[in-house]
Amino acid sequence: MILRRVLTGTWSDFGSNPGYFLHQLSIQFQQLHANYSRPPFKNRYNDEDENNVRKRKDTQQDHLQLYKSWGQHLLTNPRVLDSIIRNSGVGPTDTVLEIGPGTGNLTMRLLEAAKKVVAVEVDNRMVEILHTRVSESGLREKLTIICKDALKADFPDFDLVVANIPYGISSPLVAKLVFGGYSFRGATLLLQKEFATRLLANPGDSEFNRLAVNVKLVADVEHVMNVSKKDFVPIPKVDSSVVKIRLKTEIPDVNLNEWWAFTKTCFGKKNKTLGATFRQKKKVAELLNLSKLTSVDGDVVQRECCNESDDGEDECNISGTDVNLFKEKLVGILRTAGLEDKRPSKLSNDELMYLLSLFNQAGIWFRDQDKPRDINAAFAGL
């Protein structure tokens, strides 16, 4: 190269026409400058860009804002999605109920495996994306979309539930499924890990609470697998778990209104002894108020006309003597059952049902029998 000759030689090396060599040197210098200053060519089809394009397409991030307050965390890991489908046991003759389908990552797999999918989605933006995505796949006739709040919607008949449940409605939605009178083979649900742990807890476990007591009355719960928060877009603050819920073939003969109210009373302070709970003056007065006709040591205490207070609660004129007599009756029933010094967190459903039956036989009620059943209210805050 001429440039190398200039760098390593002397002017005598260029002979009788140094101008020619200087001209050639200028040309090569300009070529080198152009090559090194030009930005490197970027292949728009390299692996990294292709993955990014696919990720944007799958999550619809280009034109869709996801709301964490609505529990909109889309599961994107294909291995986890496939595992959920396998564990659900969905077959070609099944109608599957999916709650909160989002942009359809799980829905598309369900449509391939099931006879029909009923998707319940409250967000109209998600519904539009889901319509488009399913139509392009040629599976539109297998999908029915209900654009409503899942807690308020009436579900049509279904064989299975497979869903990534929005965290904020986990408790009332599980209650609606197991207590709502639906008949289905199983529910495979992706839930917040902490919620799933409570749902799976047994008497004596630190996580055992009213949620587990109520669900275990009518269903069996099985842990399937844990799911990392990194498998979602946007990434939530906590990990998740997949559980499988199956309704029991034989349901205990118990008034559900009473059961829910009774367990709420017992598990208000789950590590407190039942004796301590039922000696609280406020609780005694509340139960006496609910017991319209109660026998106290042979005497009859009739519930008098009550006035509604500013906060909507009934206020009755109950004497201190009535409260004390009624408290002794409550504690006497606990002693008869051998449960006065027991903590609710360590009791089985059979023990709790036995205690409730003793209370009811004595005319002691935990909920106003005239009010209609309200599953959402019963499970609020669990």
pLDDT tens-digit map of 174-223: 999 999 999 999 999 999 999 999 999 999 999 999 999 999 999 999 99
In a domain, 11, yes or no: no
Q: Is there a binding annotation on residue 23?
A: no
pLDDT score, position 308: 42
Domain termination site, one of 184, 213, 247: 247
Q: Same structural domain for residues 154 and 240?
A: yes
* 195 and 269 in a common domain: no
Does 121 belong to an annotated binding site? yes
Q: Does residue 284 share a domain with residue 234?
A: no
- Which residues have CB under 8 Å from 145's CB, separation 6+? 118, 119, 120, 121, 127, 130, 131
- Asked if residue 289 belongs to a known ligand binding site, the reply is no
- Assigned domain for 323 exists: yes
Q: Was 231 annotated as part of a binding site? A: no
Residue 6 lies in a domain: no
Q: What pLDDT is stored for residue 290 in this prediction?
A: 86
Mean pLDDT for the stretch of residues 261-289: 94
Assess whether 242 and 261 both reside in one domain: no
pLDDT of 377 strictly over 90? no
Task: Establish if 300 belongs to a structural domain.
Answer: no
Whether 23 and 4 have beta carbons less than 8 Å apart is answered as no
Are 87 and 216 members of one domain? Answer: yes
φ, ψ for residue 357, nearest 5 deg: -65, -35
Domain co-membership, 116 together with 241 = yes
Question: What 3 state SS string does the chain have?
Answer: CHHHHHHHCCHHHHCCCHHHHHHHHHHHHHHHHHHHHCCCCCCCCCHHHHHHHHHHHHHCCCCCCCCHHHCCCEECCHHHHHHHHHHHCCCCCCEEEEECCCCCHHHHHHHHHCCEEEEECCCHHHHHHHHHHHHHHCCHHHEEEECCCCCCCCCCCCCEEEEECCHHHHHHHHHHHHHCCCCCCEEEEEEEHHHHHHHHCCCCCCCCCHHHHHHHHHEEEEEEEEECHHHEECCCCCCEEEEEEEECCCCCCCCHHHHHHHHHHHHHHCCCCHHHHCCCHHHHHHHHHHCCEEEECCEEEECCCCEECCCCCEECCCCHHHHHHHHHHHHHHHHHHCCCCCCHHHCCHHHHHHHHHHHHHCCCCCCCCCCCCCHHHHCCCC
Q: From 314, 318, 239, select the one nearest 281 (Cα to Cα).
A: 318
Same domain, 228 and 264: no
**Nearest alpha-carbon partner for 288 in 304, 272, 269, 308:** 304
What pLDDT does 154 receive? 94
One domain, residues 72 and 211: yes
pLDDT for 11 equals 47
Q: Do residues 91 and 188 both lie within one domain?
A: yes
Is 35 a member of any domain? no
Q: How confident is the model at residue 260 (pLDDT cuts 50, 70, 90)?
A: very high
Separation between Cα atoms, residue 14 and residue 231, nearest integer Å: 68
Within a domain: 173: yes
pLDDT tops 60 at residue 50? no
Q: What is the CATH number of the domain that holds 348?
A: 1.10.8.480
Quote the pLDDT of residue 297: 44
Supply the pLDDT for residue 321: 79
Cβ–Cβ under 8 Å, residues 315 and 307: yes
How confident is the prediction for the chain on average, in pLDDT?
A: 82
In this predicted structure, what is the pLDDT of residue 322? Answer: 84
Mean pLDDT, range 243-272, rounded to an integer:
93
CB contact at 8 A, 71 and 166: yes
Query: Using CB atoms within 10 A of its CB, is residue 227 exposed (0-12), middle (13-18) or buried (19+)?
Result: buried
269-284: average pLDDT:
94
Q: What's CA 106's distance to the chain center, in Å?
A: 15
- The half-sphere exposure of 374 on its side-chain side, counting CA atoms within 13 A, is 11
Distance separating alpha carbons of residues 355 and 340, to the nearest angstrom: 11
Is the pLDDT score of 253 beyond 80?
Answer: yes
Tell me the pLDDT tens digit for each residue of 124-177. Answer: 999 999 999 999 999 999 999 999 999 999 999 999 999 999 888 999 999 999
Same domain, 261 and 231: no
Average of per-residue pLDDT across 35-45: 40
Look at residues 91, 83, 132, 84 and name the one whose alpha carbon lies nearest to residue 114. 91
At residue 274, does pLDDT exceed 90? yes
DSSP H or E stretch at residue 331 = helix 320-337
Predicted confidence band of residue 373 (pLDDT cuts 50, 70, 90): low
Q: Provide the domain count of the chain.
A: 2
Q: What is the pLDDT of residues 288-307, one digit of tens each?
A: 988 854 344 444 444 443 44
Angle between the N-to-C axes of helices 210-218 and 349-361, in degrees from 0 to 180, rounded to the nearest 10: 90
130 lies in the same domain as 279: no
Q: Tell me which residue range forms the domain holding 341.
A: 256-295+319-379
pLDDT digits (tens, 9 = 90+) for 70-117: 557 899 999 999 999 999 999 999 999 999 999 999 999 999 999 999
* 233, 280: one domain: no
Is 207 annotated as ligand-binding? no
The mean pLDDT of 268-287, rounded to a whole number, is: 94
- Annotated binding residue at 75? yes
Alpha-carbon distances, residue 65 vs 70, 175, 198, 278, 322 (angstroms):
11, 30, 31, 50, 59
- In this structure, is residue 201 part of a structural domain? yes
Residue with tokens 């609910």: 290
pLDDT band at residue 23, thresholds of 50, 70 and 90?
low
Do the bridges between strand 74-75 and strand 240-247 make them parallel or antiparallel, or are there none, so unpaired? unpaired
DSSP strand pairing (116-120 vs 95-99): parallel
Tell me, yes or no, whether 32 lies in a domain. no
CATH of the domain at 167: 3.40.50.150
Residue 350 CA to residue 347 CA, distance in Å, equals: 8
